[in-house]
Chains A and B, each alone.
Chain A
Amino acid sequence: MERTIIKSENFNAYFGNNHVVKNVNIEIERNKVIAVMGPSGCGKTTYLRCINRLHELIEGARCDGKMLLNGQDVYSMHPIFTRLKIGMVFQRPNPFPNLSIYDNVIAGYVLNGIKMSKSDKNDIVEKSLTSAALWKEVKDSLHKKGTFLSGGQQQRLCIARAIAMEPEVLLLDEPTSALDPISTSSIEELLKELKNNFTLIIVTHNMQQAARVSDKTAFFYMGELVEYDDTKKMFTNPDDIRTQNYITGRFS
């Protein structure tokens, strides 16, 4: 299999006339954790939402350039295929409030009308919740509504829901920004586990977190991809002065 899984070529994204992501070129390797960093408003979320084509749902939003998944442009596929292969975890936990914990995990199957045997469902639920480090806490209350969980548990439920679909890539937009340190570290542990099976792209404002979990780091500034390199190098000896300033805290 090819090592590169996602590749952007001259990729741009706009909100109306507001040019938010500017000419991004990047190659992301399989089974790595990539941290995306940069000051607030620099277009990290927007770039992430272009990868699984959520960006285009916003009125007036558009994008151009190439976004390749395994060499195929996601913008020439049906968006449903793209989203089957690229899962997403949002900044705020958003379990389906009308579904139980159990049904939330298999929501991607159930809501798609895919018929499965009871035992297949049970297997997927247990496996996904175990990978999301949530199984032990909820195994006795699987039929309660997902919204009864704490924020951190809800976020892990959303991760379980995304990985239950077995995507190739998992996008995580500041998945721990609303969580306490304990939930955060359990999610970080989880990310390290998950990279055996998935490619993870994680937006974070937390530099320690980026340093702890990621193999490579991409630094965005004002919509441009300033630098993309091994995390170690980015944090010790970045090439670009803007990266250096950001990492040493000279601007936020």
Chain B
Amino acid sequence: MQAHIKFRVAKSKAAEIILIVLAFFVTAPLLFIIYYIFQKGIKVISWNFLTQLPKPVGEVGGGIVNALVGTGLIVLYASIMAIPIGILCGIYLSEHKSSKLAYFSRLCVDVLQGVPSIVIGIVVYFWIVKPLHTFSAISGSVALAIMMLPIIIKSTEETLKLLPASLKEAAIALAIPYHRVITKVLLPCGISGILSGIILSVARIAGETAPLLFTAFGNPYLNTSMLKPMQSLPLLIFNYATSPYDEWHDLAWGAALILLFTVLLLNIITKLTTRKWNVQL
């Protein structure tokens, strides 16, 4: 009997050690990547790096302000398109759990989530770039918005589904019209889940390169017109890293560090939002 229990204790100890080792294997690559990029990138980061345009090959210095502004604008327009549609669609799916249309939409969302980003890029190229005869920032935004949609829809739907039915009934029993039940009760109660879904979706697409290759295309100059080609961080990293010049490699590392930092920051903000806005049910 004693031996039997000792064996069990040993087994649970072993399981614990295996888990710790596995956890280490999961986190180690991330820490290594962060360390490596930090080490390579930190030396080019300066005020000039953030505020100047790239210089031609051979000249020292130069910055990535065009890519920073570009990524900001492209992501902003993508969010403006994806957030309202995503939230509305999420509300629809959570309110109509078993209608045929809901079933079909849910299927589409799942499939959309699995579509490779380059395919979305190509489709948007044929939808927008070709008809307009020019690469444009807005086409990049559309491609990214399509990628954001499934993430926002899923998180909104799941968040709202978790709210107890009694909450909705309480509002309906007070003679509150349906649209106000949604906007004044359900959405505010689920705000933390919905917000974190949105921020995660931004973090997810901020570094996407493939859908921007033949939509936003890239631009060595500072451009703020959504109808013209625009630079973005991932495109800049792609172009500079594949160039033959060492100075450009350094700039790519710096840009990678900024991108990585932004994504990390967004993830941390997500965690904080979940905590801050959480409505205790």
Q: A-side interface residues toward B, CB under 8 Å?
A: 52, 54, 57, 59, 80-84, 87-88, 90, 92, 94-98, 107-108, 111-113, 145, 147, 158, 161-162, 165
Contact = CB atoms under 8 A, between A and B. Distances in A.
Given A97-B280, A97-B281, 7 more contacts: A57-B169, A83-B174, A84-B175, A90-B170, A96-B185, A98-B189, A111-B174
B169 A90 contact: yes
Q: Is the interface of B mostly helix, strand, loop or mixed?
A: helix
A82 B189 CA distance: 26
A147 B280 contact: yes
Contacts of A94: 164, 166-167, 169-170
Contacts of A95: 170
A90 B174 CA distance: 12
A59 B98 contact: yes
B177 A112 contact: yes
Contacts of A98: 185, 188-189, 279
Given A96-B185, A147-B281, A165 B170 contact: no
Nearest to B184: A111
Given A94-B167, A97-B189, A112-B180, A52 B174 contact: no
Contacts of A92: 166
22 contacts: A57-B172, A80-B177, A81-B175, A83-B175, A84-B175, A87-B173, A90-B173, A92-B166, A94-B167, A94-B170, A95-B170, A96-B167, A96-B189, A97-B189, A98-B189, A108-B174, A111-B171, A111-B174, A111-B185, A112-B175, A112-B177, A147-B280
Contact of B180 (A90, A113, A147): A113
B222 interface: no
Interface in B156-198: 164, 166-167, 169-177, 180-181, 184-185, 188-189
The list of the 3 closest CB pairs from A to B, nearest first, reads A83-B175, A108-B174, A88-B173
Contacts of A165: 174-175
Contacts of B281: 97, 147
Nearest to B173: A88
B280 A96 contact: no
A108 B176 contact: yes
B208 to A, nearest CB: 34
Contacts of A87: 173-174
A114 to B, nearest CB: 11
A60 to B, nearest CB: 10
Contacts of B177: 80, 112
Counting chain B CB atoms within 10 Å of each CB, the highest count among A95, A97, A161 belongs to A97
A97 B167 contact: yes
Contacts of A80: 175, 177
Interface in B81-102: 98
Interface string B56-99: 00000000000000000000000000000000000000000010
A82 B172 CA distance: 11
Nearest to B164: A94
Contacts of B164: 94
Contacts of B171: 96, 107, 111
Contact of A54 (B167, B173, B181, B188): B173
Contacts of A84: 175
Nearest to A110: B184
A28 to B, nearest CB: 19
A145 B280 CA distance: 9
A108 B188 contact: no
B280 A83 contact: no
B176 to A, nearest CB: 5
B183 to A, nearest CB: 9
A88 B175 CA distance: 10
Interface string B248-279: 00000000000000000000000000000001
Contacts of B170: 90, 94-96, 158
Given A57-B172, A108-B176, A165-B174, A90 B166 contact: yes
B176 A111 contact: yes
Contact of A112 (B176, B188, B279): B176
B96 to A, nearest CB: 10
A97 B281 CA distance: 6
A161 B170 CA distance: 10
A87 B163 CA distance: 22
Contacts of B176: 107-108, 111-112
Counting chain A CB atoms within 10 Å of each CB, the highest count among B170, B172, B177, B188 belongs to B170
Contacts of B279: 97-98
Nearest to A57: B172
A37 B175 CA distance: 27
